[in-house]
Structure 1
Amino acid sequence: MSLPLLPDRDCGGCVECCRVIPLDLPELAKPTGQLCAYCVDGAGCSVHAIRPQTCRTWFCLWRVVELSDDWRPDRSGVIVRPDGIDRGEITLFVVRRTDFLASEAFFTTAALWLAEGMELALSVPGPVGTYPCRAVVTDWLRPAVEDGDWPGFIARVEASLDRLADHDWQPDGIVARYEVA
């Protein structure tokens, strides 16, 4: 899915999607959680001009919707995934826990999405080469949001992430292959 990007917003040094998103394309394959060999950590793609179409059209929602710079994945530790948005779902892929997850900005935005009727899911990465784990947490988070209970909301998010991290990880079966030319 390709969504219109916000003007004047680019990835900058953020390469989180280049690290955590698996690819299994004819010209490029990389396991989940492995930084793409074409990616320069903190700088971006070294084959940007000839990168595969998937890399040209997949963007996190930070590039698409009005979220503060605190939401940029390399700062927040959260990739807001675009897949599912057309079905009213937002997946927060928590690639690493940061102070942002306990922030008022995180609580306020999640509360707004829930108030708008969006389904909210949390996802966490497993070891390199395994599929991430995901769970819809809308009903679990809603009581804290409706009560305006920011600390309770954070506690529920933390409990959800702890439970997801205790998942039985499944291998993605992707063997790294780099043939972009």
Structure 2
Amino acid sequence: MTGLPLLPDRTCGGCVECCRYIPLDLPELAKPTGELCAYCIDGAGCGVHAIRPQTCRTWFCVWRVVELSDDWRPDRSGVIVRPDGLQDGEITLYVIERTDFLESDDFFDTVVHWLDNDIRLALSIPGPVGTYPVRAVVTDYLKQAITAGDRDLFDRLVAYSLDSLANHAWQPDGVVARYAVGETPS
């Protein structure tokens, strides 16, 4: 993500979820969606950090740029808040794992705040390794529960949305793993 400054003193730490779930198809690095990058040390970070590709240097989840609690860190929440669309008033919650966080007050209050500020909201989930994730805008769908003040309905609608996305016909991403960071082309 370019254009937005990172929060000071907030680092990825042991979170490597973007290194697992975000697809890459670059000349020097390609990995299918859902496959942990071969340069990544699970729970520790990038093994080629000093020479990583530009895309890896500039792509950050929204947790790194917006004041969200530490519970929103993707490896804790199971949610990668994607930056694409942010500057156009849209947030995509890429739910990589269903955790209790999705039914937390923090999750609910944050989503309500976003919707109250006219930010469109999409939910997305990964498919099997090597397939594109699926995504659906759920702003109006969730607003009905928020307008009614019905928290239980909100939780059910989020769960139903994720269940519906999981029934999607997955499309292969066509990415073949290729690891050549730091190699000189012949």
Same fold flag (TM > 0.5): yes
Match of 2:117 in 1: 116
Please give the per-residue CA displacement for 1:45-77, whole angstroms capped at 9, x wherever unaligned.
Answer: 000000000000000000000000000000000
TM-score between the two structures when normalised by the length of structure 2: 0.96
Cα offset for 1:35?
0.2
Structure 1 segments, 4+ long, off by >2 Å, are: none
Q: Amino acid of the residue matched to residue 163 of structure 2? A: D
Please give the per-residue CA displacement for 1:121-150, whole angstroms capped at 9, x wherever unaligned.
Answer: 000000000000000000100011122221
Please give the per-residue CA displacement for 1:84-122, whole angstroms capped at 9, x wherever unaligned.
Answer: 011110000000000000101100000000000000000
Question: Aligned equivalents of 1:170 and 1:93: distance in 2?
Answer: 17
Please give the per-residue CA displacement for 1:25-58, whole angstroms capped at 9, x wherever unaligned.
Answer: 0000000000000000000000000000000000
Does structure 2 retain, via aligned residues, the 8 Å contact 1:27–1:178? yes
Match of 2:137 in 1: 136
Q: Amino acid of the residue matched to residue 124 of structure 2? A: S
- Count how many residue pairs are aligned between Structure 1 and Structure 2: 181
Q: Amino acid of the residue matched to residue 19 of structure 1? A: R
Question: Aligned equivalents of 2:93 and 2:27: distance in 1?
Answer: 28
Question: Aligned equivalents of 1:57 and 1:72: distance in 2?
Answer: 18
Question: Aligned equivalents of 1:6 and 1:156: distance in 2?
Answer: 32
Match of 2:173 in 1: 172
Question: Aligned equivalents of 1:17 and 1:129: distance in 2?
Answer: 15
Q: What are the equivalent positions in structure 2 for 1:8-157 lying under 5 Å apart? A: 8-157=9-158
Question: Aligned equivalents of 1:94 and 1:118: distance in 2?
Answer: 18
Identity across the alignment (%): 74
Does structure 2 retain, via aligned residues, the 8 Å contact 1:104–1:150? no
Question: Aligned equivalents of 2:112 and 2:149: distance in 1?
Answer: 9
Match of 2:164 in 1: 163
Partner SS, residue 67 of structure 1: coil
Report the aligned-residue RMSD.
0.6
Question: Aligned equivalents of 1:151 and 1:4: distance in 2?
Answer: 36
